[in-house]
Amino acid sequence: MGAVLHLDDDARAHLFRLAGLTPRPAWSAPERVDPELLQLLDGWPHNPALVLGRAYDVLAGNRLGYALFESFHGGANLLVKLFLDPDARSFYGDWEAAAVNTVAGFRLLHGQYPHHPRVREVLGLMLDRSPEFAELWRRNEARGKRAEVKTFHHRDVGELTLRMQSFDVRAAPGQQLVAYHAEPGSPSADALALLGTLAVTADR
C-alpha cells in the first residue's frame, strides 16, 4: 500500500501504526534522560546538542546547546518556541522550512504515542493557539528529523550555518538526540567557538 501511495519509510510506518498493524511502544512518564547520555552531551564541548522528548520537550542539553538555543533552558518545548515565541522567526534563517519539518516530525511521534498525555497536551495547546501550526497539521505529513543544514541568527555571535544530525535514543524510545556542527575553518566555526567562550564565561 505504501508503494502505491508513494510514501517514504517514515510516512509508511506512520500509516501502518494508524491502521493498527504495528504494536505501539510502551511509554511511561515523566521522561528522564539516561545519565550516560548526559555525560556524552557534556563530552561534546564544541558541538551544540539537545535531547528532545516524545512531545518535543527539551529534556536536556549541553552548555553549547543551551547557548545556541538560549530560551530552551528549563524544560522548553520546541513546538511552543517555534510557533509562539516571536523571536523564533528571526532566529531561524528559514523559519518556514523549520516549521514544516518540525510539525511533520511531531506528527510521526503522535502516531507512535497518540495516547501519551504530554503529546496530547502539546497537540491541543498548539491547535488552540497557533493557526499556522493547525494549517500544517492538516497536511498530515509525517517524517522524522533528517541530516540537514540550518542557518541561525544569534544575537551575540551573528549568523551560524550548522549541519544537524538526529539520532533515536534506543534506551528511551521516542527520545531524540540532536547535534550540530560547523564546517571546520568556516566563519560559522569561528562564531560557534566564540559562543562557547561566552557560555563558559557566563557560567563562572
Q: Which helix (H) or strand (E) holds 178?
A: strand 176-181
Contact in structure between 188 and 159 (CB atoms under 8 Å): yes
Task: Identify the residue with better confidence: 9 or 123.
Answer: 123
Rounded mean pLDDT of 13-20?
A: 66
Where are any strands of DSSP class E within 88-146? Answer: none
**pLDDT computed for residue 3 by the predictor:** 52
Q: In sequence order, which residues have a C-beta less than 8 Å from that of residue 35 and are 6 or more positions away?
A: none
CA angle 152, 157, 158 (to 5 degrees): 50
Answer whether residue 174 shows pLDDT above 80.
Answer: yes
Between CA 203 and CA 8 the distance in angstroms is 44
- 101 pLDDT band, cuts 50/70/90, is very high
Between CA 49 and CA 69 the distance in angstroms is 10
Rounded mean pLDDT of 58-66?
A: 95
Question: Grid coordinates representing 62?
Answer: 549541553
The whole model's pTM is what?
A: 0.84
**pLDDT computed for residue 44 by the predictor:** 95
**Exposure string for 61-79, b = 16+ CB within 10 A, e = fewer:** bbbbbbbbbeebeeebbbb
